[in-house]
Chain A
Amino acid sequence: MNNFQRHPFKKYQLFVLFFYICSHFCIGNLGLIVDAAAAAKMNTLMVTEHNKQFNEIASIIENELKSKYNVEKYFLDENAEYKSFEEKVKESKPAVLILINNPAVNLALKYNEKNPAINGVALMGLNLRGLLKGQKNICGISFDIPIYTLVTQFAMLMEKNIKKVLVYSRDSIFSPVTAINESRLKTSGVTLITKNVEKYGKNKTDVEKFLQEEKKKFNTIKNEFDVITILLDSAFLSPDFFKDFWIPLSNEAQVPLIAGVESLVSPQLNFAVFGITPNIADLGLQAVQMITAVINGEKAEDISVEEPLGGNKILNSKKAETLSLKFNQDKLEDVNKL
Chain B
Amino acid sequence: MTTSTPTRAAVTEPDRRLPALGGFAPGALGIELRRVLRNRRTLAFTLIMPGVFFLIFGLPQGGQSLDNGRPVTAYIMISLAVYAAMVATTSVGGAVATERALGWSRQLRLTPLRPAAYVATKLITAMSLGLLAVVVEFVVGTAAGVRVPAYVWLLSGLAAWLGSLVFAAFGLFIGYLAPAENVMQIIGPVLAVLAMFGGLFVPVEVLPDVLQQVAKFTPVYGMGVLARAPLTGDGVSMAAVVNLVVWALVFGVGAARLFRRDTARV
- Please say whether chains A and B are actual partners in one complex: no
